[in-house]
Amino acid sequence: MPNKPWLKEYPAEVPPTFAYPKRNLAHFLTDSAASHPGHAALDFLGKRMTYRALLESARRFANALLRLGVRKGDRVAVMLPNCPQAVIAYYGTLMIGGTVVMTNPLYVPRELEHQLKDSGARIIVTLDQLLERVRKSTADSPMNHTIVTTIQDYLPFPKNILFALKQKKDGKAVKVAYGGNVHAFRELLARSAPDPVDDPVDADRDLALVQYTGGTTGLAKGVMLTHSNLVANTIQARLWCYKSRDGMERYMAALPFFHVFGLTCLLHLGIYTAGTLILLPRFEINQVLQTIRKKRPTVFPGAPTMYVAIINHPRIGRFDISSIRMCISGAAPLPLQVQERFEALTGGRLIEGYGLTEASPVTHANNVWEKRKIGSIGIPFPDTEARIVNPETFEDMPPGEIGELAVRGPQVMQGYWNRPEETARVLRDGWLLTGDLGKMDEEGFCYILDRRKDLIIAGGYNIYPREVEEVLFEHPDVEEAAVAGVVDPYRGETVKAYIVLRQGAAPNPDELKMWCKEKLAAYKVPKIFEFREALPKTMAGKVLRRKLIEEEEEKARTS
């Protein structure tokens, strides 16, 4: 696209281009520790760690890795919830030029085995109660070391046990036999010097991260992201949030760091701006609301399901959440009703953005304080280009026409780990084909209709699940909704809606069907409704539509 109409929509304070430093991602921590040494970097369930202490611990971990034989380019898996050890291990690995593999602690052995074998990780940092799962997953692998940690090390009271990650199994305390290739995290740090390490990183060439995609459509692929990719995307996000106050923001870190959205928009951005990261090991609505009331976070990136849970909490009126000034919603479409109600409750701004693992992840966002368009993912970030193309010919589609979104910028990945053919399918002359169907208007605002894989084709008509979900979300009885295509012998596919009702509402499929008929063409109206207590989600709060489809396929096989 020769012209960039979105540049006219940029706030005056946001530059369209920037000279991103070519440096190790860990320098964000070094710089903030130099400028704000005594400021709280982490707040973990009431206990704080300053930037000075965090830098010292990260350097200790870096030296411990060197002592264990880890060198530049070696992969180190971090399988932890949001806790201080996850941050220490992450930056310590980067300091020596190691490549981090962020791993979901909820993975079952099969998923973990694939990720560890595929990445060739030499070390994994995990919780003591997950040690047996790791051993099962690495029985046939060349992994040399496991570093085991208990997150209680960083709690304010030794006997305090996390509700979500209890250090017990079958009612008995977990006992870990350290020694051999199993090392205690705290002891490893205590035996290591806090001295700076030599920085061997070539920012444009060396990988900071191999981040695995969600794997909801098959085996997860490792996305190769360099230090330059992640440095650029962090700075792009900071430029976009130009009213952000360095050294003053408090980040609500409920999104997991093992998801790239949480990694960049919380961990990287929080450390870069010398903010305080209020760490929660998982999203639990009552704990989240109590934390907001006590800790007064100002920035709260999240998934739409998180905001849905907040606005629909039966006692939301008892919680003061007015400290929240700014939220970027990602990982899934943001319904208008959710946006409006959340902003009314907080007085802050909740805007929709867009990204994908392959782009570090953010490429688009609505303006936070200026012009935005409802239903749009916004406009491209600085130094980011976007096109809507014909997926077969790669030719540009006219404004308003539907095609596949392609993006290009300094945050776009180097490719998929050990998958050159799949890399070639999605990267063309620096352009990343996202797999998302969308359109762009005359002003450069983009609209995502759905994943190409999620498109429902019923009786020859194309149906975009997001459009139907938006209508369902508008119904006063609906708390959450997901729409998927299920097999239909006559139409090929038909539309099925999965509904979570608000407290006190009764299932009424006929009423919901009539509601949809008033707002949608007849062929888009769901023919089947299923009412559920909850929808399957990733740890980042994204609804797993693929999981719903797999359940339907299993029903068909067994019926």
Q: For the domain that residue 547 is a member of, what is the CATH number?
A: 3.30.300.30
Closest by CA to 363, choosing from 229, 539, 271, 252, is 229
494 in the same domain as 415? no
Residues 15 and 38 occupy one common structural domain? no
Predicted pLDDT at 483? 93
Task: Say what the pLDDT of residue 181 is.
Answer: 86
Could you tell me the two tokens for 505?
């509402």
Cα–Cα dist 179/324, whole Å:
46
Strands 362-365 and 349-355 come out as: antiparallel
In angstroms, what CA-CA distances link 73 with 94, 119, 164, 360? 10, 11, 34, 19
Walking along the chain (559 residues) 10 residues at a time, the average pLDDT comes out as 85 97 98 98 94 98 95 96 96 98 87 90 91 83 78 55 40 64 92 96 98 67 97 98 95 94 97 98 94 97 91 93 95 84 96 95 96 94 97 93 96 97 94 94 92 76 83 92 85 89 93 92 91 87 83 81
Whole-number Å distance between alpha carbons of 65 and 161:
29
Identify the helix (H) or strand (E) that includes residue 237. helix 227-240
Is 477 a member of any domain?
yes
On whether both 250 and 349 belong to a single domain, the answer is yes
Nearest 5°: phi and psi at 193? -80, 150
| Residue 216: predicted pLDDT | 42
Residues 238 and 387 in one domain: yes
Residue 239 counted as domain residue: yes
Q: Do residues 537 and 331 touch, judged by C-beta distance below 8 A?
A: no
Which DSSP symbol is given to 512? Answer: H
Cα R_g (the chain), whole angstroms? 23
Global pTM reads 0.84
* Same structural domain, 500 and 407: no
Distance CA 153, CA 270 (A): 23
Asked if residue 220 belongs to a domain, the reply is no
Is 215 contained in some domain? no
- The count of structural domains within the chain is 3
Tell me what pLDDT residue 178 has. 75
The residue type of 496 is K
Q: What is the rounded distance in angstroms from the CA atom of residue 380 to the CA atom of residue 383?
A: 8
- Exposed/middle/buried for residue 367 (C-beta within 10 Å: 0-12, 13-18, 19+): middle
- Pair (193, 93) in one structural domain: yes
Which residues, including other chains, have CB under 8 Å from residue 189's CB and lie 6 or more apart? 57, 60, 61, 64, 88
Q: Single out the residue in 401, 420, 454 at which a domain terminates.
A: 454
CB 445 within 8 A of CB 388: no
Count Cβ atoms below 10 Å from residue 226 Cβ, excluding itself. 25
Residue 273 is predicted with a pLDDT of 98
| Whether 528 contacts 555, CB under 8 Å | no
92: nearest Cα among 125, 116, 69, 63: 63
Cβ–Cβ < 8 Å for 246, 274: yes
pLDDT at 169: 47
132 and 237 belong to one structural domain: no
CATH number of the domain bearing residue 297: 3.40.50.12780
Residue 243 and residue 392 in one domain: yes
Residue 468: which residues within 8 A CB-CB, separation 6 or more? 483, 495, 497, 516, 520, 524, 525, 526
Q: What CA–CA distance (Å, rounded) separates 131 from 114?
A: 17
Buried b (16+ CB within 10 A) or exposed e, 429-440: eebbbbbbbbbb
Domain assignment of residue 384, yes or no: yes
Q: Which helix (H) or strand (E) holds 102?
A: strand 99-102
Q: Is residue 14 part of a domain?
A: yes
Q: Does residue 432 share a domain with residue 345?
A: yes
DSSP state, residue 381:
P
Q: Where residue 90 sits, what CATH number does that domain have? A: 3.40.50.980
Domain end residue (candidates: 454, 484, 499): 454
Whole-number Cα distances in Å, 479 to 308, 335, 403, 499, 533? 7, 11, 31, 8, 10
Statement to judge: residues 503 and 530 lie in one domain:
yes
- For residue 204, count other CB atoms closer than 10 A to its CB: 12
The amino acid occupying position 9 is E
Nearest partner of 415 among 426, 402, 403, judged by Cα: 426
Q: Is 56 in the same domain as 184?
A: yes
Residue 223 lies in a domain: no
What backbone phi and psi angles, to 5 degrees, belong to 327?
-140, 135
Q: Kindly state the tokens that stand for 51.
A: 């930037």
Which residues form the domain of 333?
1-20+230-454
Specify whether the CB–CB gap between 119 and 222 falls below 8 A.
Answer: yes
43 lies in the same domain as 73: yes
Give the model's pLDDT for residue 553.
Answer: 81
Q: Which residues pair with 379 in a beta bridge?
A: 365
Q: 98 is written with which tokens?
A: 């190691």
Residue 188 φ/ψ region, left for φ over 0, alpha for ψ in the -120 to 50 degree band, beta for the rest:
alpha
Q: Is residue 222 part of a domain?
A: no
